[in-house]
C-alpha cells in the first residue's frame, strides 16, 4: 500500500477541507490569518500539507503536488 492511498482516507474537518482548497500552490504561511495557520498546522500533523523554508520565509504546499 502506498502512502498516497493512506492519505486519501484521512479524516478532515470542514475547515480543513476548505483550507486544502485554498492552498493551490506553495504559499507563505504568514499570508494566512492566525486561525488559518492553526488549521494548517493540523494538516501538517496529518501529513496532508508540508512546510518548508525558502530563504527566511516558511512556505506551505499540499502533499502530492509538484512545486513550480
Residue 68 lies in a domain: no
Residue 10 CB contacts under 8 Å (≥ 6 apart), including other chains: 46, 47, 48
- The answer to whether residue 52 is domain-embedded is yes
For residue 28, give the CATH number of its domain.
1.10.10
Sheet with 57-62, strands from edge to edge, namely 27-28, 57-62, 49-54
Query: Per residue in 34-52, pLDDT tens?
Result: 999 999 999 999 889 999 9
pTM of the shown model: 0.79
DSSP character at residue 30: G
Within a domain: 50? yes
User: CA torsion angle for 44, 49, 50, 54 (degrees, to 10)?
Assistant: -120
CA separation for the pair 44, 42 (Å, rounded): 5
21, part of any domain: yes
Identify whether 22 is part of a domain: yes
* 9 vs 26, residue with greater confidence: 26
> Does residue 30 fall inside a structural domain?
yes
Amino acid at each position: 500500500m502506498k502512502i498516497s492511498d493512506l492519505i486519501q482516507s484521512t479524516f478532515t474537518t470542514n475547515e480543513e477541507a476548505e483550507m486544502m482548497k485554498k492552498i493551490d500552490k506553495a504559499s507563505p504561511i504568514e499570508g494566512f490569518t492566525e486561525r488559518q495557520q492553526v488549521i494548517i498546522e493540523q494538516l501538517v500533523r496529518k501529513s496532508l500539507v508540508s512546510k518548508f523554508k525558502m530563504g527566511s520565509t516558511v512556505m506551505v504546499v499540499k502533499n502530492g503536488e509538484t512545486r513550480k
